[in-house]
């Protein structure tokens, strides 16, 4: 009898983003997605957040391959960093997903990649893995569900999906294929939980087209549409609506400019050369002559739309009468940034159309009734909800029980958990330390929670620097110099700083017999910390600098 099959979760459970799991068969490991997430307000200065694959690093020779379900950043964005450490690991996915991965890797010329194309409906064998690929509909073309046929039963991962019966490209979720897998027997299902707490069905992407056509027909000034640079179907509808009213299209923003030609060259996006212009040509057109399709739907600080909303975009200046269509969802945590952009757009005089007032966005994730239908087709013996915050996972677990999965075979897991498949039965396995790796500039993993706590304190309380000059016997020479940044700004700050220096000087002179620099630094921090707390109620970061003469 072969060893049990182990499924481990590195990211994406209890959160939106950083999706990464593994399936281990006979001591070899296949990864399902290697995604990232973007920082929020609590991640001071951080650029990207990656899953922590340190446990894989210890078993590098056992990592056999990675299978990517689709081309969204939260499922493939961490690959450049992963492949830097695991260069020999082949990556399997569909044509568009690999095209987006290849474009991303161009920004990392030191990273080698073995990219291998597969198609929906295909079944491959590599090492101990027998993998089958199933077409699913999502908000990006070429999405996949993945079935691992193992010695202990079939494991099916849904990928991100919905049951849109009229998708823009006609590629529906392959329900007959999923049903055949259910007939053969699915021992363990892992399925998208993002909209598990939303009743009903998600509307078809096609309904967005009518809204766009109506908005474009009524607009008199320039039109700006913002959406995700990976949402090829949404962009196609924007292009079609623009062409329908006689306007040219201009792509704005690095990822939009990069991704759309790739999608067109691979046959996933259709437009004529005469329909697209660059920014230089836009300025020569009348204001009702162009539609700009840009990034920044989530209020990202330096994205194109955010700069337009602040009046700081170098090339695009909005005027009263212009229209801005925000054709995207609000990702939890981004609300304040998005509303800041909307307010800024209104200040520029633009008419803003968003999901709250018009049908300009539909989700790419199945709602509750679609999930019930999915469970009834697959009829899995055991279930682990994936891809979602904890509330989503709980809601999806309840749906699984409602549709017949035994309650003791429904496992709500979190990052760092494992489940074990043995002879068609699933049980909880050993856990491992989860975590996240922060990317800050050129540094990967060199910023941890302690640094973030310091940055948070600096942002909220400021910093006080004390320069203390000592002679060779560690006696104070002259008076300390105390400066601050971000603690207080008033006409009295010089008085406070002089008083802080005197208090510190008196305390250090009382301890002139102390010669240990570490003790002097600690004394300086304690004295100034107490001073600022008593005088202002604030607790700045205290930085003692000892200078020996």
Q: Which of 355, 346, 344 is nearest to 323 (CA)?
A: 346
Same domain flag for 377 and 414: yes
Q: Is 491 exposed, middle or buried (0-12, 13-18, 19+ CB in 10 A)?
A: exposed
Same domain flag for 128 and 173: yes
pLDDT at 157: 98
- The pLDDT tens digits of the residues spanning 146-173 come to 999 999 999 999 999 999 999 999 999 9
Question: What global pTM score does this model have?
Answer: 0.83
- DSSP β-bridge partners for residue 224: 292, 324
Contact yes or no for 487/536 (Cβ under 8 A): yes
Q: Which residues contact 189 (CB under 8 A, 6 or more apart)?
A: 155, 156, 158, 375, 378, 380, 382, 383, 384, 400
Same domain flag for 48 and 188: yes
d(C-alpha 434, C-alpha 516), whole Å: 40
- DSSP β-bridge partners for residue 351: 323
Same domain flag for 348 and 408: no
Same domain flag for 196 and 60: yes
DSSP string, 213-282: HHHHHH--S-EEEE--TT-HHHHHHHHHHHHHTT-EEEEESHHHHHHHHHHHHTTSS---GGGB--HHHH
Domain end marker among 444, 478, 506:
444
Same domain flag for 63 and 30: yes
Domain end marker among 387, 414, 444:
444
SS3 302: coil
Same domain flag for 330 and 311: yes
Contact yes or no for 215/358 (Cβ under 8 A): yes
Q: Which of 71, 153, 67, 154 is nearest to 115 (CA)?
A: 67
Helix (H) or strand (E) holding 48: strand 48-51
Q: Which of 167, 241, 161, 171 is nearest to 204 (CA)?
A: 167
* Tokens representing residue 442 in the block: 């050129």
* Tokens representing residue 331 in the block: 């990702």
- Label residues 383-412 b or e (16+ Cβ within 10 Å = b): bbbbbbbeebbebbbbbbeebebeeebbbb
* Tokens representing residue 157 in the block: 């991962």
DSSP-derived secondary structure letter, 59: T
Same domain flag for 304 and 387: no
Contact yes or no for 459/539 (Cβ under 8 A): no
Q: Which residues contact 298 (CB under 8 A, 6 or more apart)?
A: 328, 330, 331, 334, 337, 338
Residue 80, Cα to own-chain centre: how many angstroms?
15
| Cα–Cα distance list, 46 to 27, 53, 302, 439, 532 (Å) | 35, 19, 14, 6, 29
Same domain flag for 296 and 317: yes
Same domain flag for 179 and 32: yes
Give the domain extent around 224. Answer: 207-353
SS3 143: strand
Packed helices 207-218 and 232-244: angle between N→C axes, nearest 10 degrees: 40
DSSP-derived secondary structure letter, 111: -
Q: What is the CATH number of the domain that holds 78?
A: 3.60.15.10
- DSSP β-bridge partners for residue 483: 465
Apex 414 CA angle, 412 and 418, nearest 5: 85
Same domain flag for 11 and 67: yes
**Intervals of the chain under pLDDT 70:** 1, 39-46, 299, 330-334, 440-452, 457, 490-491, 511-515
SS3 47: coil
Same domain flag for 469 and 323: no
DSSP-derived secondary structure letter, 511: T
Residue 168 lies inside a defined structural domain of this protein: yes
d(C-alpha 353, C-alpha 243), whole Å: 20
- The pLDDT tens digits of the residues spanning 235-286 come to 999 999 999 999 999 999 888 999 999 999 999 999 999 999 998 899 899 9
Q: What is the CATH number of the domain that holds 217?
A: 3.40.50.10710
Residue 454 lies inside a defined structural domain of this protein: no
Residue 457 lies inside a defined structural domain of this protein: no
Domain end marker among 444, 472, 501:
444
d(C-alpha 397, C-alpha 390), whole Å: 11
pLDDT at 536: 85
Instruction: Tally the domains of the chain.
Output: 3
């Amino acid at each position: 009898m072969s060893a049990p099959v182990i499924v481990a979760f590195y990211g994406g459970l209890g959160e939106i983003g950083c999706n990464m799991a593994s399936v281990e068969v006979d001591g070899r490991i296949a990864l399902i997605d290697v995604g990232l997430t973007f920082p929020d307000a609590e991640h001071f200065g951080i650029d990207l957040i990656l899953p922590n694959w340190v446990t894989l690093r210890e078993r590098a020779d056992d990592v056999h391959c990675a299978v990517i379900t689709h081309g969204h950043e939260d499922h493939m964005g961490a690959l450049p960093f992963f492949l830097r450490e695991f260069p020999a690991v082949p990556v399997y996915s569909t044509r568009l997903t690999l095209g987006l991965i290849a474009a991303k890797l161009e920004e990392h010329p030191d990273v080698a990649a073995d990219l291998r194309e597969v198609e929906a409906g295909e079944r491959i064998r590599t090492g101990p893995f027998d993998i089958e690929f199933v077409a699913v509909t999502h908000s990006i073309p070429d999405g996949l569900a993945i079935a691992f046929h193992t010695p202990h039963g079939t494991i099916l991962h849904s990928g991100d999906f919905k049951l849109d019966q009229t998708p823009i490209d006609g590629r529906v979720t392959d329900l007959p294929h999923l049903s055949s897998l259910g007939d053969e027997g699915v021992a363990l299902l892992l399925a998208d939980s993002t909209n598990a707490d939303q009743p009903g069905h998600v509307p078809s992407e096609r309904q967005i087209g009518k809204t766009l056509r109506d908005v474009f027909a009524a607009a008199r000034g320039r039109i700006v549409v913002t959406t995700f640079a990976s949402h090829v179907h949404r962009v196609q509808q924007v292009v079609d609506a623009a062409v329908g009213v006689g306007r040219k299209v201009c792509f704005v923003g690095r990822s939009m400019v990069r991704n759309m030609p790739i999608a067109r060259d691979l046959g996933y996006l259709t437009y004529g050369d005469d329909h697209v212009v660059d920014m230089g040509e836009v300025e020569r057109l009348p204001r009702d002559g162009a539609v700009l399709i840009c990034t920044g739907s989530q209020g990202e600080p330096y994205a194109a739309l955010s700069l337009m909303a602040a009046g700081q975009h170098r090339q695009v200046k909005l005027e009263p009468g212009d229209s801005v269509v925000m054709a995207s969802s609000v990702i939890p945590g981004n609300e304040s940034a998005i509303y800041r952009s909307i307010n800024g757009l209104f200040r520029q005089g633009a008419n803003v159309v968003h999901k709250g007032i018009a049908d300009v966005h539909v989700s790419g994730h199945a709602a509750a009734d679609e999930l019930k239908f999915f469970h009834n087709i697959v009829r899995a013996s055991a279930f682990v909800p994936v891809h979602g915050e904890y509330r989503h996972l709980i809601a999806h677990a309840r749906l699984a029980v409602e549709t017949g999965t035994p309650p003791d075979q429904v496992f709500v897991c979190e990052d760092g958990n494992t489940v074990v498949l043995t002879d068609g039965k699933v049980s909880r396995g050993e856990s491992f330390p989860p975590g996240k790796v922060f990317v800050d500039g050129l540094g990967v993993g060199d910023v941890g929670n302690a640094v973030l706590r310091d940055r948070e304190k600096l942002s909220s309380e400021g910093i006080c620097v004390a320069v203390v000059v000592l002679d060779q016997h560690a006696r104070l020479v002259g008076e300390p110099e105390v400066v601050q940044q971000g603690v207080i700004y008033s006409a009295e700050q010089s008085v406070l700083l002089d008083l802080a220096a005197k208090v510190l000087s008196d305390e250090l002179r009382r301890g002139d017999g102390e010669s240990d620099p570490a003790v002097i630094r600690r004394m300086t921090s304690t004295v100034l910390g107490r001073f600022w707390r008593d005088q202002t109620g604030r607790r700045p970061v205290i930085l003692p600098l000892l200078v020996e003469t």
